[in-house]
Amino acid sequence: MCIVNYYINPIDSTDCIPTPCNIEYCLTCATASTCYVCKTGFQVTLNGTLCSPSSCTVTNCLICLTPTICGVCSGGYILSGNMMACQLPCNDPYCSTCPTPNSCSMCLPGYQFSSTTGYCVILCLVPYCVDCTSSTTCNTCQTGYQVSTPLNTACNPINTGNCTTTSSLTNCTSCPPDYYLVGTTCYPYICSIDQCIACASTSTCGNCSSITTINGNGTSCTYNCLTIVSNCVTCISNTTCSACAAGYLLNTTTNQCNSVCTIPDCYICLTDGLCQYCDVNYTLTSSGTCDYNCGIPNCISCNSSHSCSACNTNYQLSPDCSSCLLVCSPGFYISTVNGTQTCQLCSLTISSCYLCTLTSNNALTCLACWDMYYVTGDGSCSLCSSTLDNCLLCDSPAKCTQCNGTYVLYTN
């Protein structure tokens, strides 16, 4: 068997001779019609049948897909994730870019370069920690600090300088209230109280975080926002709630704990029996429940998607329950402008008219005029005195019912 680019000599089967190459500018052929490596300044095409002038700018690329995108790297190199570089393989499994196999210039997301080990290690977010088992859990702290227990989420200072009394410059004989003595060293108390940053003992807190307040006996740190957001149990700041009590849901937009709704078709409840916002296609009623929204203008309660059961004030239900009809008070008439109906005062259109109506041909006519006026034949109003001298009140242009003060009505 021969190595790549060689084949067995048909004349002498014990000898391997180079594969004949019929491709111009090819340095080494895989077969007579397929190139493996082109000469300098040329690159192999994707099907391997040609050596074309190289426009590839990717160093150590064997086959380029575009001038800046590599498809196959030369031997000993691996393709980067964006296919824009051929790089040496990394000995560090958490390194994304290696100038050499044993040096890293960029770690994978979630990792950071350790100058101590020379490798990429887990990105540690715990202050004073030198070895993290996760981003928020510490295994080993810097000199002068110790891992908090039981959660291992902090490095607390080992402070011999906080001795209250000493037997020498470095040996403590007594400690302040939030430290305890072991041998000649003062160690901070470790307690499992949420949001406690300095323990007074293993079961009490001496100092709580900035978003909490210590309770009277020091056994807990109470979130400050609990007095601001009702039914909140956990906070992320002095004013912002992060979790609500059982039976309540957090609305992150309003920063409120809303009662879990038992009202059908209610999206957010103010209380268990009062809805604030209804689901899509439902309308909030005055009693705090949700009715189906049938899409009928001025309908406040629906029987179905096309049937109304109750209308808004000043509207009455049509006989077939398909619409809500505008009803105007006496002295007003229904005016329609651009498809919108409103109630207009009769006297604004017909001067001195008290009561009016629309005729069958949609013409406005007056039915009753103010005192001292009568309805004319064309449905307008005219002064009684304009046709009857010294007449104050009249029923028609020919019948006076009351004269001016210095005149007496003649019965005939």
Tens of pLDDT, residue by residue over 240-256, are 888 888 778 888 888 88
Take residue 214 and report the two structure tokens written for it: 């210590």
Return the pLDDT at 356. 93
Taking every pair of Cα atoms in the chain, the longest distance, rounded to a whole number of angstroms, is: 154
| For range 344-355, the mean pLDDT | 92
Q: What are phi and psi of 132, to 5 degrees?
A: -100, 140
Closest CA to 357 of 333, 374, 377, 376: 333
Alpha-carbon dihedral 155, 160, 165, 168, rounded to 10 degrees: 170
How confident is the model at residue 104, as a pLDDT? 82
> Can you give the pLDDT at residue 364?
92
- 168 confidence band (pLDDT: 50, 70, 90): low
Handedness of CA 170, 171, 176, 181 (dihedral sign): positive
pLDDT band at 51 (very low <50, low <70, confident <90, very high): confident
Pairing of β 26-31 and β 340-345 = unpaired
Percent of the chain scoring above 70 in pLDDT: 92
Cα 129 to Cα 136: distance, rounded to the nearest angstrom: 10
Mean of per-residue pLDDT scores for the chain: 82
Cβ-contact 394, 379 below 8 angstroms? no
How far apart CA 222 and CA 235 sit, in angstroms, is 10
Residues 159, 160, 163, CA angle at the centre, nearest 5°?
A: 110
Q: Residue 161 pLDDT more than 70?
A: no
Residue 401, pLDDT > 80, answer yes
Does the structure show a pLDDT above 70 at 136?
yes
Residue 50 has pLDDT above 60, yes or no: yes
- pLDDT above 80: residue 65: no
pLDDT of residue 5: 65
Rounded Cα distance, 47 and 66, in Å = 15
* Least confident window among 78-92, 101-115, 145-159, 188-202: 145-159
Q: State phi, psi for 160 to the nearest 5 degrees.
A: -75, -15
Give the DSSP letter of residue 329: P
Q: What is the pLDDT of residue 1?
A: 64
Please identify which residue in the block is written with the tokens 């108390």: 189
Q: Looking at the predicted structure, is the pLDDT value of residue 98 above 80?
A: no
- 106 versus 11: the higher-pLDDT residue is 106
CA distances from 199 to 138, 153, 196 (A): 19, 15, 7
In this prediction, what percent of the chain has a pLDDT beyond 90?
A: 9
Q: What is the mean pLDDT of residues 400-411?
A: 86
Does position 3 have pLDDT exceeding 70, yes or no?
A: no
Q: ∠ CA 342-348-350 to the nearest 5 degrees?
A: 115
Closest Cα to residue 190, out of 181, 177, 203?
203
Identify the pLDDT of residue 355: 93
Strand partners, 403: 391
Say how far apart CA 97 and CA 90 lie, in whole Å: 8
In this predicted structure, what is the pLDDT of residue 116? 72
Summarize the confidence of residues 28-53 as an average pLDDT: 79
Task: Give tens-digit pLDDT for 295-342.
Answer: 888 888 787 777 888 888 888 898 888 888 889 888 999 888 888 888
Write down the pLDDT at residue 184.
77
As a whole number of angstroms, the distance between CA 58 and CA 24 comes to 23
Tell me the pLDDT band of 357, cut-offs 50, 70 and 90: very high
Least confident of 21-25, 64-68, 84-88, 156-160: 156-160
The pLDDT value given to residue 52: 80
150, 137 Cβ separation under 8 angstroms: no
